[in-house]
Amino acid sequence: MTRLSTFARQGLVFDVRDAGPRDGAPVVLLHGFPQTSVSWGSVAELLNEQGFRTLAPDQRGYTPGALPRRRRDYRLSELIADAVALIETAGAGPVHLVGHDWGAAVAWGVAAARPDLVRTLTAVSVPHPLAFIQSMSRSTQALKSWYMLFFQLPWIPERLMSDESGFLERSLRGTGQTPANAARDLAELHRLGGARTALNWYRGMPLTQPSVLRRKITVPTLQVWSDGDTAVGRKGHELSQRFVSGAWELRTLEGVSHWIPDEAPERLAELLTEHFRKHATAA
């Protein structure tokens, strides 16, 4: 099977990290904010050792060939369509779909819109988007998510997320990232010309139609939450079950921050492998 280094959609070109046995069961790994596919490196290596082929794209806003500037280009429907294009380009049949942070929101959308392309779904750190919204009025989630409103402001977030400010690095470290990983992710952002396109993931939220998420998830679903997560509480994960009609399970990692793929790759890879093999024949 041919290796993928890129895939294209509507004139945009996305870089992909394709690793592991070419004939292994395919696993698509979607990163979150403000990271790239590099954040999946340790997890991908562990999955490759278990015989899985991993496909980790740099999503729009995080890859040189796909940096649209308008916030409407970052509606969830566009992000979902990008992931669908990757799966169809890979041509390996239904995939095990895994997303962390914003990547989880995209993964939920893909599983809702195109269940024929998804063998299993794993959402790491972020619940179903509609459950997340519901949790705002039923927990302290609204307080945890203050930054989402702040990111809607023009130019001020970009200024604070510049190299000179140090704001973003301090924020990442404050949520549990190691200094090395925070520096790595900041270097990737600035290599791409700054934070604007990454921030547009948040700025595209008000333009997203809820209809893209209203279909129930029919594929086997695993949610992974960590009790050291300062950005996302447990309530949204518990509420997510109502949006899933297929098999559903919530697992909690104790003593781990929001940055699960970086901080606990072995524990996450173990949960993923168990989930994939349990539902290996799911269609």
Q: How far is it, in rounded angstroms, from Cα 57 to Cα 141?
A: 29
* Domain harbouring 193, CATH code: 3.40.50.1820
What is the model's pLDDT at position 224? 98
Domain-located, residue 283: no
Domain-located, residue 36: yes
Q: How far is it, in rounded angstroms, from Cα 165 to Cα 152?
A: 19
C-alpha pair distances (Å), 215 with each of 46, 128, 241: 33, 11, 13
Which amino acid appears at position 209 of this protein? Q
Compute the average pLDDT of residues 241-246: 96
Q: Which domain holds residue 29?
A: 6-278
Choose among 33, 113, 29: nearest CA to 74: 33
Residues 105-142 have pLDDT tens digits of 999 999 999 999 999 999 999 999 999 999 999 999 99
Domain-located, residue 102: yes
Q: How far is it, in rounded angstroms, from Cα 114 to Cα 111?
A: 5
Residue 209, pLDDT above cutoff 90: no
Q: How confident is the model at residue 93 (pLDDT cuts 50, 70, 90)?
A: confident
> Is the N-terminal amide bond of 34 cis, ω within 30° of 0?
yes
Q: Range with the lowest mean pLDDT among 13-17, 167-171, 178-182, 270-274?
A: 167-171
Domain-located, residue 23: yes
Choose among 113, 158, 145, 130: nearest CA to 230: 145
Domain-located, residue 271: yes
What is the model's pLDDT at position 104? 98
Residue 160, pLDDT above cutoff 60: yes
Domain-located, residue 1: no
What is the model's pLDDT at position 275? 98
The DSSP letter of residue 230 is S
What is the model's pLDDT at position 194? 83
What is the model's pLDDT at position 212? 76
Q: How confident is the model at residue 283 (pLDDT cuts 50, 70, 90)?
A: low
| pTM score above 0.95 | yes
Q: How confident is the model at residue 1 (pLDDT cuts 50, 70, 90)?
A: low
Number of structural domains in the chain: 1
Within 10 angstroms of residue 128's Cβ, the number of other Cβ atoms is 29
What is the model's pLDDT at position 282? 58
Q: How far is it, in rounded angstroms, from Cα 268 to Cα 119?
A: 18
